[in-house]
Every structure is written in C-alpha cells, then in structure tokens.
Structure 1
Amino acid sequence: MMEFDDIVVKENPGLCRCCLSEGCYKDLGSEYTWMNENEVYADMLLECFDISISQINEGPNGPNRLICEVCITRLRDACNFKKQVFECEKKFIDMVARGEFRKVLIYQAHMKSEEVGPEDEIQADESEYLEEDPDFGDDEPLKREEPQPTVSAEPLQIKGKRGRPKKQPDAKPEKKKSNTDDKKTKPVAKDVKTRKYKGCESSSMRRRRNFEILFNNTTIIPFKWRGKYLCFYCSKDIAEYNELRKHTKSHGDCSIKDHSLKVLKGGHNMEIKIDVSDVACEICGEPFPSLEEIINHLYVKHKLEYDRGVEMSIEEYRLVDMGCLVCGEKFAFFGYLVSHVNNTHPKNCLLCDKCNQKFNKKRDLFSHMKNYHREGGYQCEVCPQSFSSLNILRKHKINRHLTRCSVCHLKLPSASLKQKHMDLEHPDDGSLQCDNCDKQFHTKQGLRMHSRKCKGLEEFLEIAYKKEDAAAMDLDQNYEERSKRPSVKQIRENIVIVINMSTAIPFNFYKNKFNCFYCSKDFADSDAMREHTVVEHPVCDVKEKCIRKCRESVACVKIDISTLACKICFESMINLDSLIDHLIVKHEANYDKSITTCLQPYRLVKDHMACPNCPGEVFRFFGTLLKHMNKKHTNNNIICVYCGETFRRDQNLRVHVWRHHRDGRFKCNICGAECNIPSRLYMHMAKAHGVRASKCPKCPESFATQYLRQKHLIDAHDSGHKCTYCGKLFTRNSFMRDHVRRTHLKEKNVECSICNMKFFNNILLRRHMVKHSGEKNFHCEICGERFFWRKSLRTHMARHSRHLNPAQV
C-alpha cells in the first residue's frame, strides 16, 4: 500500500493526480486516441468510479490535471472490467428469460456431485471464514443446506459461505418441470429486460438521463445567466426572453452525449436554471402548474423512467414576468430576481469559517473565499503593494497601472478602452480556438477561461512587459492613503446634506442646455431651471434615481451657489466651503470633508459665468466655461483612442466620440468622403464636385452652402428669425438674440479690469485690451507701419492701392 504521507510534493509541474508520481504526463481533460478509440480520462474516472478530480490553480501543476501511464492502464482495465460485468449480467438475464441457462446449471451440478466428508467441510470453513475453531459436539452431526428451489428470473440470493458445495440429488425430477417453469418465468423476464440498472450507473449519468427526459418531453427550457441570457446548449448571447425560448427549441431534442449535459459533474454544485413560465407536456399537450406535477405525469402516464433517487440541482424561475415563485415579488432585471431568491429564500445556509458570512450556494462561498481570504493577501504583480481582497487589487491595477492589449500589446489607460480597442482593431472572427495552443472549445466562456491560464510563447513577453512597467512606475509614499476610495454611501449622503440644508440648486448641462437634476427636463437658461427645481423638487431623497447614479468616479454633481444660504438658520454664505463648515459645526451635519470631488460649485448669472478658480475669467455662455474648466483646471486622464485627446470624465469622452468619430453620419454620395456636420458636407460637394446640394424649400433654386440658402430665404421669401423690436430678419436665432441685446437693450456686462470700461462680450473686450498692452500685431508689408487692429491695416492698405499700379499691387 502506498504511504502518501511520505511523499514530498515538489513545486514543479508534472505530478500525477492519481498516484502523486512525478514525470511528463497526459492531461485528464484532454482527448486522446488509443486503439482507434477516443479517451478522456476525467470522464472515464467519473463514469467508472464517480470520482471528479478538482482543478486547483495554486497547486504544483497550476491549472493542469495530469495522469501517468501506469494509472491510465489501470483505469482502462477497470473500465473494461465494468463493461464486461454489464455485458455478462445482461446476457445472464437474457438466458434465464429464454430458459437456456437452467440446462447449463443442471449439467454443471451433475458434474460436481461427488461426496464431501464432514472433516473436509470443517477444514474449508476454518481456512476461509472462521477466525476461531468452531465448537462442534461429538454427537452433533454437521448440518447441510437444504436443496435450493428451481432457478427463476428474480435476482439470485447471495450465499453465506463459498466453501460448501451442495449435492443436488433431485436434479432429474427438476428437469421434468422445466417446460412449465419456462412459461411462468417469461413474463417476469420481460419486466427485468426493460428495467434500467440504476445502481450500476454513476449519479452523473442518471442525472443526465433525467434532464434528457425533462427537456425533450416538456416545454421547460434550460438557460444560463452571465449578466445576460445565454443558450444552455451553445452559450449564444440572447437579449429577449421570447428569442431565448425560440432559439433553445431550435436545437431540437437533447441527448446525454451532448456537451452541455456531459459537463454537469459534481451533483448539487452544478445548478441548472430552468424557465417554468409555461409548463406543459409535449406528448399529450396537458398543462401543469409546477415542475413536480409534470414529473409525476411523465412517470405515471407515459411510463418514462425518471429517476427520483438521484439529487437534481434545479433552480426554477418564471422569466415571463420576472416574478418570484415563493413570494410573488416582481423585478425589472433578472439579476435582481436571482439576488432576491438567494438572499430572501435560501435553500442552504453555508457559513464562512473566517468571517461568519452566510451564503446560499457552495459556488458563492468558494468565490467569497477566493476573493477575500487568501493567505498572505493579494500581491500586485507589477508593484510591491499587497491588498486585503481581490476586488481592491483589481481596482488598483485599473487605476494605477496601464493595461495592455493581449494581441498588439498597446498600452491603454483603462479596461473599458482596452475592450473598445479590441472591438475596433482586433474584432472577433467567431472562432473558438486558442491563439497560443490551437485548442478548440465549445463556448466563448471556456475559451476566455483557458486564455487566462494558457501562456505559451506569450509568457516571456508578459514577463518583459511587467519588468518594463515596474521600472517606469513612479511609486508615491502616500499611495496607500490615496488608493483608498470613499464609500458610495458617504458620497451620496454628502450630496443630499448640501442640497437639503442649503439653497444650492443641483443641475445638469448637456448639449448647450440646462437640465433638471431630478427629471432631466431641458431649459434655455439657468433662471428657468432654478425656478423649476425649487417648485417641483423641494426635497432630495437618497433613494431617488438621480442620487443612486452617483457612485465613485462619476459622483460629481454641479450646483448653483449664486444665492447661497443655510435653509435652517437663513444665514448667507460666501462659498461652498464656508457653508460646509457651518453645517458641520452649528447644525452637526454628518458631512465627510475628506471627500472633495462630489460637488462642483458654479455661480450661474446670465451672460456672466465666472470661473470658480480664475478670479478674472468671465464667460458669456456656460458651455464655454465648461470647456475652460476642462482644459485649465482638471486632470484629464481619459484618452480618446482615435485622436489622443484627453478628457476629465467618461461622459465627455462619449460625447466627443459621438460628435467626431461616429461612422456613417454625413457621407458624400459621389466620393464617399465623411463630414461632421451638414454644412461642411455642402461645402465639400460645392468645392470638390460643383454640386449645389442645399435646396430652397420654397422654390427650385439650390445653393452651395446653408448660409447662402438662408440669405436667399430672407431676401426672396421674407423667411427668417425676425426681431420683435425693428422687424429685421436674421439667418440664425442666436444672431437675432445678440442683435436685440446689443442694439435695443444696450447690454454691456463685460468690464475691463484696468479702466472699468464695459463691453457687450469678450470679443470686444479683447480688442479693447490691445490698447492697454501696447502690442501692435498687424503691420503693413509695403511700408512697415504697425497697427493695433486688422481694420486699421485694411484702411491703410487701401491708401497704398490708390497710388500704386495694379501690377505693383
């Protein structure tokens, strides 16, 4: 017998999982050919002995499960012996049923009918079965067994001791009754012949047969869930429930040889999700309210041999309305339904030994142990930092280290940009083959799991890149403090405290319009938005959707502090910092001052949008102020993969990509050139192809640009944006509003910081500031005289043109 305690396991790959011997061995899960037959040793172990070899990544073999040639030979012999026993048992029953086996038995008994003395019997008993000498009396004869009755098709009884051959003197009379006995045994033999020998099959095989009966004869469909619906048979992503049913049924009848059923190993650890929205028998069409009732129906009425003795790990869900089968509560998302069932109606109560947290499934407990309780912590592969959980380590890698494309090894700042890069530069061709070892897989998930472990030639590149990243990385002394992110709950509480306890107004700004923070209603100016928020949304709740969107990096709410005051004591405040200090000290608000990125204060004054960081910078439009903030006062670490431009938030990147890198927006139908906006497309078609694509809606005339078309509408059709004061027409509404404010309202809101002179907008202020700077940027190329403004240069050049010949000019 092998002593496993004496075996020293070395940290080298190549350890047989069946005998712990070292060498270069075969993989248990791979398929090999021997004597023109395909073998998978893991399946052979499972079907012969019902043993499943676990896969442990931290072991000496890594993710591999190996077996040596000696164990393979012994496994083959065991499988062949099991097959031989099955065949002999079947042949035995068939011979008994046909009445052929009795003749053989009688003939053999007749050949072995010699006398055996009492002394020989005692010696046989002593040698094989008796540990102590039997106490027989001198005058007590040894009892012999009674002759057995005639052989029938029922299972044979096991004898107490093998060493006692018995005499059958009545063999000849028994031979005369054989004709009548054959007639009685035949119907019994039919019953035995159709019976399944479940005791000889593994539990996995019996479980597969049950699933085959259930899925082929009912309307119940199996499915998978990985954040979205997956087909049980081919793992295809399916978005809609109706499409899932239709696609699953298109696979036809399943078989125990299907890969989707063969992978169901391990009993109750392999959970199968089924949809019981529509439960009906496909043989007779009868509907049923539950899974248990249709199983009884198949077993009783249709005589289908559903094995109730094997444990079936089935999770029932009603997908048609996302309703809980226990309490009836409905959900909008299937993931919420699964969480509700696991937490509210658990079947098990599995306890973590280290933190006493409870789980419903072994899978969840194993995942918890893997993510939170590894001995020695979770070490970063690039830097010497160690973390308490796997999730924190992943966030550290995303935030601290650049990720690389697995194909071209391009450095990218985040996992989301890496995925976009992969989709654009290396699109999926639908192949399920590993690029390193050319191994084929049945599902995308299996290929992804294999790709994480399969190194091949890429291992050397990864080591080189890790060394390069470690050398280039700048380690901060205070990194541990900076890497700790604030809790989402505290961020939301900070936002709600400021909004409810002060006159600060939250808002959004999108596509040059102010939006209500709560209901996303659009407003042309800040005053209308402020009035709507005060009237319609006086109180902010933590459970509202707008607050639940605030999480970690995207938790940045714009607030208007133009009229900032405390709502409790009505004291006016200068800025947001003084308000927060006031709320904490005087009103004991639970505000965490260590979180500094959750609020962005602005003073929304019409046509006077001041920068909160630059004292002298004032802008007319809020959109211009935001562009200034993004360029001057933010750490833009989000990079566009198309043009390399940087942004502060993911939302800004999405808008940029939508505007400048979207495919198929405005395309020239002649040469295929693409343009961002229609006006540029019209200009391109006019210049490059001589086509006037901008047509007048009121007459057949067409123009090269939209501006010329609008001028035509004003001149010929009196159609445009009309001033309410003087009736003048303009091509754009913004031009008309500027005309009203400049000409009729005489607005001058932009003030010079040197001479206090006021102007209408920043353009006129910049022209004026030239006088104070003294710089003359425009000079005449003929006489060299310099001027403050371009208009003065044009007037000067007109004088030269009068005194010069056309050829000299």
Structure 2
Amino acid sequence: MATKTWKIEKDLCRCCHAEGTFDNLAEPRTFLEKEEVYSDMLRECLDLDIPPVPGELCAITYSICNACITRLRDACNFKKQVQDCEQRFMTLYYKNAIQGLNTETVVKEELEVSIDDNHSDDDIETIVLKKEEDDDDDSFMDRDDDDDDMSEDFAITKKPTTSMKTRSKPKAKPKAPPVKKEKPQPQPKKKAEPKPVKEKKGEDSFTLTVGGDGTKTYTCNLCESSYKKRSCFTQHYKHVHLKLRPKLRGCHLCDVKVPGYMRAFHMEEHGLPAPSCGACGKKFAYPWQVLQHQKFHHMGEAKYRCEPCNLTFMRGGDYNRHQNKHMDVKMFKCELCGKAFKWGKGLKTHMMIHNNIRRHVCIVCRESFVQSSSLKYHMVKRHPETI
C-alpha cells in the first residue's frame, strides 16, 4: 500500500493546516500598541502547547495564518470579558448591592350584591352573587330572554334537575355596586448600585522597555523600580503597593510567625522533621513537592520528552527552551551589524562589544575583555605562570 506524502511549499499554519506566507508563532508582534506572542496566547487562553519540530521543517511549520490569529484574539478578548464581568458581579454580590424585584400577589375580591326589599319574602329571597366569570352572567341573561310570556315584574324560576332548593328569580339583574380600586402600594426604592470604576487607557501599573539586545525591563509607574521579569514586578506590585503580602503562619510551639513555605523548616528547630525524600534525603516545604520530586528523579516519570536526545522535562517552558538546541533558526538578530544568534544571551554578550563594555579584567596587566573565555585565553598565552 503506497504511503501518501505531504509536500509543503510555503509556510504551514499549525492551527488550520493552510499554506501561505504566515507569521511565526514565537515571534512577538504588535497589534493596537500591544505586544502579542501567539504561542503564549494559545497556552494561556486555550491551554494548548504547540512545540516546534526540529530540523529543516521547524521554520516553515511553526507559523499561524491571519484567519486563525483573528479567531485567537476574539477568544482571548472573550475570556477577559467573562473574567471581568464575573469579578464585578461577585464584588457587588458580596457587598449586597444586587437586589431583585418583589413579585406582588393579586387577590380576587368577592362582590356581594343584594336585591331591593320592595317584594315580599314569599316572592324572592336575598341572593348573594359571586362574580367570577363572564360566562355565568351571559347564561343568566339568556334565560330571561326566552321567557317572553312572563311579566316584566316577576320571573318564574325553573326547578333544577338536582335536588336543590328552588328560589325565585328577581325581575332584572341587579346592578353591582361600584368596585373600589385599591391603590397599588408604592414599592420601596432600590438602593443606588455603586458604579464600577472604568480604567482609563494608558494608566497601566508598569512600563515595558525593550533594549537593543532584546532584553525586557518592567518599570513600576509608582516608584520607578525596574525588574527583568514580569513575575518579579507582579510580586513587587502586590507586596509593596497593594499590601498583599503573603500571610504569616504562626507556630503552635512558640510565638514566631513565618511564611508558609518556611514553616516546615522552622518546625525542625522544635524536633519535627520537614518532608524529605526517602531515597536521597532532600528536604522540601510541602509533601506534594516530595511526590513530584520522586516521580521525576527516581521513578523516571515526565510529561515532556525530547526525541533526538532523549531528555525529559517536567515543565513545558523548559522543554521549549531545550528545543532551540535542535533548531537552525537564529531568532535574535543584531540591529547594528546584522549578526544573528540562537540564544538571547549570545546577543546580549555581542551587544557589549558594540558598547565597549569590558567586565573581565586581568589581575596582572589590567587588560580588560568582554567575554570570560577571552580572559582565560589571555591568561594562558601571556601569564601562564599564574595558572
């Protein structure tokens, strides 16, 4: 049986398998003054991790088309909308700022109609009519019209088929007294709901700066502190400005309060051992970390495995960074001389040459170098006696 060959001439969209000239999944793009990385958007919004393949197919098969980009943006925006609406709803709910309409019960009134006392008791009796449906009134009037031979003063009552007491009928249908309409009670006024504060555009909590070597810097707009990682800035903003510091847990044997991740090591001072691995003796803060350590290091269980070199990884980020070793694509390019590098660290070191930043200094002749390898080579050639 012949095998079918898939020939790819142009870029391949990994989301719909369309071919054309598309954007790389890992390269950052700017849309409406916001930076987008489509592989990160797939991971954060849809929990999908699309790894690149090694070899010559890496560059042409790790891309996404414009139609899929539009649908991905809509999915991310919808997820953010749902999260914002749910957070606003729960905030108002716990503040008792949401009220419902109280349904009013409608009670039917019974109308009592009495006949005039001009006639004798032998002729007619007092009749109490309950007006419930219009059909009963129509049938009553029909019976009066059929009795053409009767006088206008009195109407003869017909005996019903059932064993009920016969009663004389009045000469005419008495008029019902006017029904007093009750005024609807005014409903209590609703409490004014607090309007949610709208965030103004441009008032972000940090400013992102991208250097010439591709390094990112997150600067706090409140205190102008700078951080190289987004997670470090987030921790700074929560702990310093929002005062959301980690809760301290008290020790039941002394008055010391420590963070949760340090509590197990503090309890060792009182003779209670911290969670540790029985195979290698390594200590951890929580028991689940022991189980994760044993599965990966001692039992060989891993979620990600590199096929070319047979290395295993527990986290998807470590696996994706490792895949760059098997790629021929050099994504980090110098804007001054055009030289490209596979790793961002290589571009950062290369930019020190253009900026003449020499951090490694010889202790003998005080000659400085950009790279530590250049200093080692200098020591071997010029000062071998110091080695």
Q: TM-score normalised to the size of structure 1?
A: 0.21
Q: 1 or 2, which has the higher helix percentage?
A: 1
Q: TM-score normalised to the size of structure 2?
A: 0.37
